[in-house]
Amino acid sequence: MPYLSSIHLNTEKKHLYPYDVPAIKNAKNIDVSNSVTFIIGENGTGKSTLLESIACRLQLPHMDGKGYDKNCFDAAKKLLPYLELEWDIERSVGFFFRAEDFGDYLNSINRSDIKLHNQMGLNDDVPEHIIQQMKDSANYQLHQVRRDYGQELDSFSHGEAYMHIMHQMVNQRGIYLLDEPEGILIPCKTISIHIFIQNHLQHFNSQFIIATHSPMLMAYPNATIYEITNEEMKKTALEDTDHYSITKMFLNNPKSFLQHFKK
């Protein structure tokens, strides 16, 4: 049995953000009971806002571990009184991964590390391992990274770090929300997500709801795809999506495709 069976936003408000974005207007009795569901649509259609509202309602942990008090979740919190979920979950088991959290978190750790180094006034006479111990002791964020993810993430490329976190945090039965993971992944790492999810679902009865622009991700076998337009939010076959059609046209004849868009 899935954690989350359906999503419904029971509001007739049409004006002002976030009520005027297509995903919010059109999320009516959306069946998400499949193990893997993709939510697709143009930029600005509200894919991220919809995921954030679900994550906020379920209180799923996310990367910085600070809950949902940040201003970036204000829109999601406005929607909570209208969000109706059919779900079966006793506690917040899972993870919510926003690509923007990933970059912001790594950058904030690097900034803190540099700031600490400057504040300590350390010079070249101090051994490197002593400097590192002092910074580690003072830098709570670095300690938190080691606690949650095993080691400093800046020792990886961004794609490797993303997959490292996936292995650390997606390791038990749960509901996992991924917001545009392809934004920090090269194509071969995008395929790695396919393989990772397949392996995970062989061992755990989990759910993945993924907002994406990537037809490579959408091609996950037997997944459900919901496409958001200004008029509706509907189930769509991969081959009927604009993402698939445009990618296919480009790959079949790149020169002709580019010439067409120059006109």
User: Which structural domain, as residue segments, surrounds residue 165?
Assistant: 4-262
Write down the pLDDT at residue 177: 96
What is the chain's percent helix, strand, coil content, to nearest 5? 50, 15, 30
pLDDT tens-place string over residues 193-206? 889 999 999 999 99
Is pLDDT above 70 for 15? yes
Comparing 129 with 2, the larger pLDDT belongs to 2
Write down the pLDDT at residue 72: 85
Of 146, 178, 151, 143, nearest in space to 62 by CA: 178
How many domains would you assign to the chain?
1
Residue type, 223: A
Q: What is the DSSP secondary structure assignment for residue 64, as one 8-state letter?
A: T
Comparing 57 with 129, the larger pLDDT belongs to 57
How far is the CA of 190 from the CAs of 4, 124, 154, 210, in angstroms? 25, 42, 20, 13
Is pLDDT above 70 for 135? no
pLDDT tens-place string over residues 207-250? 999 999 999 999 999 999 999 999 999 999 999 998 888 888 88
CATH number at residue 91: 3.40.50
For residues 217 and 181, the answer to whether their CB atoms sit within 8 Å is yes
Write down the pLDDT at residue 111: 47
CB atoms within 10 A of CB 166: 20
Residue type, 254: P
Task: Decide: pTM greater than 0.85.
Answer: no
Q: What is the DSSP secondary structure assignment for residue 59, as one 8-state letter?
A: T
